[in-house]
Amino acid sequence: MTNQTVIKVGSTATGFWGKFRSVLARRTEGRAVVLFAIIATFVTVSQPLVFTAYQVTLGRIALIGLVALGLTAVILMGELDLSVASTLAVSGVIAVTVANQTNMAIGVLAALAAGVVVSLINAFFVAIVGINSFIATLGMLFALRGMAFVISDEAPVKLQNTDLGIAFGQPLLGPLTPRILIFFLIFIAIQIFVSRVKAGREFLAVGGNRQAAYDAGIPVKRRIFTGFIISGVVAAIAGIINAVERTSADPTSGSTVLLASFAAAIIGGNYLKGGKGSIIGTLIGAASLGMLQVALTISGVQIPIQEIFIGGILLIAVITDPSSLRAVWGSLSTTFQGIKNSLAK
Amino acid sequence: MTSPVIEARNIVKSFGGVRAVDDVSVSVMPGEIHAVIGENGAGKSTLMRILAGVETPDSGSVRIDGKEIENSAKASIDAGISLVHQELSLIPEMTVAENIMLGAFPTNGGWTKTKEMKKIAADTLKEIGVEVDLDERISRLSVALRQFVEIARAVARKPKVLILDEPTATLTPAETDYLLSMLQRLASQGLAIIYISHRIPEVFKICNKVTILRDGKLVTNDSIGDLTPDKVIDQMVGRELHLDLTQRRPAREFGELVLSAKGIKAPKVNGIDLEVSKGQIVGLGGLVGAGRTELLRAIIGADPRSAGRVTITSNGKKRVITGYLSAIKAGVAYVPEERRTDGLALTMTVAENIFLPNRKEVSPTGVMPKGKIAAFAKDLSEKVNLRPPEVTREAGQYSGGNQQKIVIAKWLGRKPSFIVLDEPTRGVDVGAKAEIHKLVKELADEGAAVLVISSDLPELLELSDLIHVVRDGKIAGTLTGAEATEKSVMSLAAGEKLVGA
Ligand SMILES: Nc1ncnc2c1ncn2[C@@H]1O[C@H](COP(=O)(O)OP(=O)(O)OP(=O)(O)O)[C@@H](O)[C@H]1O
Ligand SMILES: [Mg+2]
């Protein structure tokens, strides 16, 4: 055949800046990076302690970010998992209760298994029965919270092996505590999964256009199961870490984590309807929030006031979505043209 | 004698009470281009979706090389069936390469091999002769380009059977010709092709065999040599239809100026002046990507413009258009190009969809009497020949072409003073197309000003009193309806380079 080209498009960008701009336009983390930079600058100027005490800051980021990382896997597919908050509580309670009767390893395994079972039930309702994930996991959120209370007898369960708990709070590698290490390992694992492994790369397709993904032969239901398992297991890990570090599992824990996790994911540029976003974005979102929280805490700002700050940032993140900004700018400029023209008349 | 690659036997599929496919059998030989045609809602897409394993038939079987295959998307793909869907089915936030390889990422023990993926995608694009940046996201491509990416995806799978469901609906004549010759070349290499289109000339140009469906039933299965275009159309509609597509609008006097657009600049629009008068139909010709849609949207304020002044005069009142809302107030009805996404609420009923922009007309007080809405909707859907005309069904349950008719109905119901149509009959069958043409002409005769984009040259010629041909965001030439020919429009659209080609 003639190798004639009918259509030609794509980046006509040349030179370093041109390429840079076109790469930037393709990423979803843009505003997360900008927000991060703004917060970092603000913090450097007003509370440099945040960086000096980076161990504390990293710990805070890991606390907020861990559950958010798992959650992002589900959000990429356009689903929600509200049950993570209770999964965290239940798995903590199970880990400590079982560990007290046997040993820590079995306790951890039992808690992880609980995380998997919860995910399977969630995914079953969402992928097989076809219930909206908000509703299915909201039900799960309540059911598991109740279960955590039943298992713990409505009071925090003390970890008998307090040595382990204390050791767990200490730096393991350089200045890094096990929590921070686990956080980074999980980040790397999920990031590799969604960017390098076939099943993970297909998450974005399931979220972007589910029918098209199915038509292309992607096992959509299996992907949804995988996503929920990731978020459930990561939430369980977070629950275990919390319980061991505090040498006590509180059945009420996790309620603030839910909101912070969603905030981190959204600030990170993840689109709640799915099909748009990234794990790196969530990391940046969590880092921004963590830094801000530590800075505010050091400055003596009360927790409720901190939450107002987070809410504000969340709104800014959503409003400054490039497409909404473009829309606002566009209508402003058209209106302006119109006014100018009417005056000229 | 060779045996068929694909054979569908006695396929039956009902949706509720509607028999979408009623005991249809089709078989296709290697190297054959087999047309499947029929009116909107005849069951073409449903049959194809069954072959591709994405819809489950009530009964019947699909065989590849004589062996029955299981009904699942994966089984069909593995057996070598590739379907290019009627609706675009790409993932907006994934790259061109990822979309071409969707569901078939090359892997090494679960790890994707990105380099290899890009290489296969690049080779496929080269094979079909399209140049697109592999790392570009789909959401940043034009509709026509997406269509080619979609075809690349089907071809990349090295299928035995390639099914294309109205692939040319979004393409211009030049792109269509290109696609048709590409298909002929693929067929000559032994590929079996099933080709769906509402454009009869295309069918006669490349197909060897024709299957005609009417109301889900097979009415004809013949070699192309035994058929004529007229016969095909008669069999499709089941009655004799007298179409005269070569008819032009007689020269006439127009009323006062309705639209005045001066110095319009916007992305892809480089300074255009445009005027439309009462009772006049102005057509915009040109290639896909020439900036016609962008121009329309900039004029009516649906997209921002960087320069220019637009006024619309209706009911003796002259208004400056600063945004879409002011355009609506001025009596503009806009039927967008991407109807499925921009123009319809798929989970709402037909009546509700038609009612939406006509709230004031139907119920000035704000109460919404169901019966009145239904009657209003029924009247309009009959005008556009909606099939079946059940206005209480969800819009999403209608076939592609019928969805188009719903959008047309909903905008034309308001008797607008200025009508803006972007590819008004794309994917609409011949009968309905004639109805829509009639409707548009009637509205103009009653005093509406009409601005219409069409890549369908006969349509553009039939409707327009005046044709502006747009190229590279500028008006390359203007022809009166009487003097324009397909050739004169095409050569203006393509520029000097392609004249005579
Ligand atoms: N999901 C669905 N639910 C209910 N009815 C449906 C559904 N899909 C299709 N139908 C009905 O099945 C019939 C055949 O539709 P189909 O999409 O196959 O038509 P088509 O021949 O492809 O038409 P077009 O030329 O408009 O694309 C129509 O009456 C349509 O309303
Ligand atoms: Mg169809």
pLDDT per position as a tens digit, A171-203: 888 888 899 999 999 999 999 999 999 999 999
Q: What is the mean pLDDT of residues B177-200?
A: 92
**What 3 state SS string does B375-435 have?**
HHHHHHHHHCCCCCCCCCCEHHHCCHHHHHHHHHHHHHCCCCCEEEEECCCCCCCHHHHHH
Q: State the smallest CA–CA distance between residue B144 and chain A in angstroms.
A: 9
Strands lying side by side in the sheet with B33-38: B81-84, B161-165, B192-196, B33-38, B209-214, B217-223
Per-residue pLDDT at B20: 92
pLDDT of residue A334 exceeding 80: no
pLDDT of residue B357 exceeding 90: no
Q: State the smallest CA–CA distance between residue B104 and chain A in angstroms.
A: 8
Q: What is the largest CA-CA distance in chain A?
A: 86
Is residue A322 situated within a structural domain?
Answer: no
The CA distance from A36 to A284, in Å, is 7
**Whether the bond into B92 is cis, omega within 30 of 0:** no
* Contact call for B52 and A199, based on CB within 8 A: no
Q: How would you label B119-131 residue by residue, b for 16+ Cβ within 10 Å and e otherwise?
A: ebbbebbebbbbe
Q: What is the largest CA-CA distance in chain B?
A: 73
* Contact call for A28 and B304, based on CB within 8 A: no
Q: Tell me the HSE value of A330 on the side-chain side, using a 13 A CA sphere.
A: 18
Lowest-confidence segment of A207-211, A272-276, B70-74 by average pLDDT = A272-276
Q: Which of A196, A275, A330 sits opposite B93 (nearest CB)?
A: A275
Task: Determine what percent of chain B is predicted with pLDDT higher than 70.
Answer: 96
Per-residue pLDDT at B342: 67
Q: Establish if A324 touches chain B: CB-CB under 8 angstroms.
A: no
The CA distance from B87 to A215, in Å, is 12
Both tokens of B170, joined, read: 């979004």
pLDDT of residue A11 exceeding 50: no
Q: Is B397 in the pocket of ligand 1 (CB under 6 A)?
A: yes
pLDDT in tens, B130-163: 888 898 889 888 777 888 999 999 999 999 999 9
Per-residue pLDDT at A95: 95
Residues from chain B that touch A275, judged by Cβ atoms under 8 A, are: 91-93
Both tokens of B314, joined, read: 């209706």
What average pLDDT is seen over chain A? Answer: 86
For B6-237, CATH gives 3.40.50.300
Q: Nearest to residue A158, comparing CAs of A91, A86, A99, A84? A: A99
pLDDT of residue B2 exceeding 90: no
Q: List Cβ neighbours of B324 (8 Å cut-off, separation of 6 or more).
A: B300, B301, B302
Ligand 1 atom nearest the C-alpha of B43 is: 18
Is residue A338 situated within a structural domain?
Answer: no
Per-residue pLDDT at B199: 87
The CA distance from B56 to B27, in Å, is 19
Interface size, chain A vs chain B, as Cβ–Cβ contacts under 8 Å: 150
* Contact call for A9 and B133, based on CB within 8 A: yes
Per-residue pLDDT at A12: 47
Residues from chain B that touch A208, judged by Cβ atoms under 8 A, are: 91-94
The Cα-based distances of A221 to A77, A130, B14, B401 in angstroms read 11, 10, 25, 31
pLDDT of residue B491 exceeding 70: yes
- What is the end-to-end Cα distance of chain B in Å, rounded? 39
Per-residue pLDDT at B183: 93
Q: State the smallest CA–CA distance between residue A7 and chain B in angstroms.
A: 6
Q: Which of A11, A214, A334 sits opposite B305 (nearest CB)?
A: A334
10 Å CB burial of residue A301 (0-12, 13-18, 19+) is middle
pLDDT category of residue A338 using cuts at 50, 70 and 90: low
Q: Is B15 in the pocket of ligand 1 (CB under 6 A)?
A: yes
* Contact call for A214 and B305, based on CB within 8 A: no
CATH of the domain at A102: 1.10.3470
Report CA torsion sign: B360, B366, B368, B372: negative
The CA distance from B275 to B465, in Å, is 12
Q: Which ligand sits nearest to residue B404's alpha carbon?
A: 1
Q: Is B38 in the pocket of ligand 1 (CB under 6 A)?
A: yes
pLDDT of residue B341 exceeding 70: no
Is residue A115 situated within a structural domain?
Answer: yes
Q: Nearest to residue A293, comparing CAs of A312, A307, A314? A: A307
Per-residue pLDDT at A218: 92
pLDDT of residue A15 exceeding 90: no
What average pLDDT is seen over chain B? Answer: 87
Q: What is the mean pLDDT of residues A126-152?
A: 94
Ordered by start, the domain boundaries in chain B are 6-237, 255-331+418-431+455-496
pLDDT of residue B327 exceeding 80: yes
Q: Is B431 in the pocket of ligand 1 (CB under 6 A)?
A: no
Q: State the smallest CA–CA distance between residue A230 and chain B in angstroms.
A: 17
Q: Report CA Rg, chain B.
A: 23
Give the H/E segment covering residue A333: helix A322-344
Q: Establish if A325 touches chain B: CB-CB under 8 angstroms.
A: no
Q: Is B167 in the pocket of ligand 1 (CB under 6 A)?
A: no
Q: Establish if A153 touches chain B: CB-CB under 8 angstroms.
A: no
Enclosing domain of residue A133: 61-317
Q: Nearest to residue A90, comparing CAs of A110, A104, A75, A105? A: A110
Both tokens of B176, joined, read: 């269509």
Give distance in angstroms: CA of B45 to centre of ligand 2: 4
Per-residue pLDDT at B419: 93
Q: Nearest to residue B316, comparing CAs of B257, B394, B371? A: B257
pLDDT of residue B258 exceeding 50: yes
The residue assigned the tokens 């556009």 is: B384
- Indicate which residue's Cα is closest to atom 12 of ligand 1: B20
Q: Is B450 in the pocket of ligand 1 (CB under 6 A)?
A: no
Per-residue pLDDT at A138: 94
Question: Which of A14, A209, A223 would you mutate first to test chain B, the one with the most B CBs within 10 A?
Answer: A209
Is residue A68 situated within a structural domain?
Answer: yes
Q: State the smallest CA–CA distance between residue B64 and chain A in angstroms.
A: 18
pLDDT in tens, B199-250: 888 999 999 999 999 989 999 898 998 988 888 888 887 766 656 656 778 8
Pairing of strands B6-15, B59-64: antiparallel
pLDDT in tens, B6-35: 999 999 999 987 889 999 999 999 999 999
Per-residue pLDDT at A121: 97
Backbone phi and psi for residue A158, each to the nearest 5 degrees, phi listed first: -80, 140
Lowest-confidence segment of A4-18, A266-280, B60-74, B271-285 by average pLDDT = A4-18
The Cα-based distances of B188 to A289, B182, B193, B380 in angstroms read 61, 10, 11, 46
3-state secondary structure of B257: strand
pLDDT in tens, A275-327: 889 999 999 999 999 998 889 888 888 888 888 888 888 888 777 766 656 66
DSSP string, A194-218: HHHBHHHHHHHHHHH-HHHHHHTT-
Is residue A30 situated within a structural domain?
Answer: no
Lowest-confidence segment of A90-94, A275-279, B343-347 by average pLDDT = B343-347
Do A73 and A194 meet the contact criterion of CB atoms below 8 Å apart?
A: yes
On whether the pTM is more than 0.90, the answer is no
Question: Which of B54, B125, B133 would you mutate first to test chain A, the one with the most A CBs within 10 A?
Answer: B133
The CA distance from B187 to B159, in Å, is 11
Do A183 and A65 meet the contact criterion of CB atoms below 8 Å apart?
A: yes
pLDDT in tens, B390-449: 888 888 888 878 888 888 888 877 778 899 999 888 878 887 888 888 888 988 998 899
The Cα-based distances of B87 to A120, B170, B293, B427, B436 in angstroms read 33, 10, 19, 11, 21
Residue of A nearest to B125 (CA): A5
Provide the number of structural domains found in chain A.
1
Give distance in angstroms: CA of B75 to centre of ligand 1: 23
Q: Which of A198, A218, A276 sits opposite B107 (nearest CB)?
A: A198
For B482, other C-beta atoms within 10 Å of its C-beta total: 12
Give the H/E segment covering residue A165: helix A162-168
Residues linked to residue B14 through DSSP beta bridges, in sequence order: B19
Both tokens of B7, joined, read: 């054979």
* Contact call for A7 and B306, based on CB within 8 A: no
Per-residue pLDDT at B243: 60
Both tokens of B131, joined, read: 């140049």
Is residue A336 situated within a structural domain?
Answer: no
Residue of B19, B37, B40, B46 best suited for mutating to test ligand 1, as the one with most atoms within 8 Å of CB = B46
pLDDT in tens, A53-70: 888 889 889 988 999 999
Give the H/E segment covering residue B218: strand B217-223
pLDDT in tens, B32-79: 999 999 988 899 999 999 999 999 999 999 999 999 999 999 899 999
Q: Which ligand sits nearest to residue B198's alpha carbon?
A: 1
For B255-331+418-431+455-496, CATH gives 3.40.50.300
Lowest-confidence segment of A37-46, B276-285, B331-340 by average pLDDT = B331-340
Give distance in angstroms: CA of B41 to centre of ligand 1: 5
Residues from chain B that touch A6, judged by Cβ atoms under 8 A, are: 129-130, 148, 174-175, 178
Give distance in angstroms: CA of B388 to centre of ligand 1: 10
Query: Tell me, what amino acid is at A285?
Result: G
Task: Determine what percent of chain B is predicted with pLDDT higher than 90.
Answer: 43
The residue assigned the tokens 């380009």 is: B145
The CA distance from B209 to B28, in Å, is 9
Q: What is the mean pLDDT of residues B281-310?
A: 89
Is residue A288 situated within a structural domain?
Answer: yes
Question: A 181-240 residues with CB below 8 A of B?
Answer: 196-199, 201-202, 204-205, 208-209, 211-219
Is residue A127 situated within a structural domain?
Answer: yes
* Contact call for B132 and A219, based on CB within 8 A: no
**In terms of pLDDT, which residue wins out, B126 or B356?**
B126
Q: Nearest to residue A29, comparing CAs of A258, A283, A227? A: A283
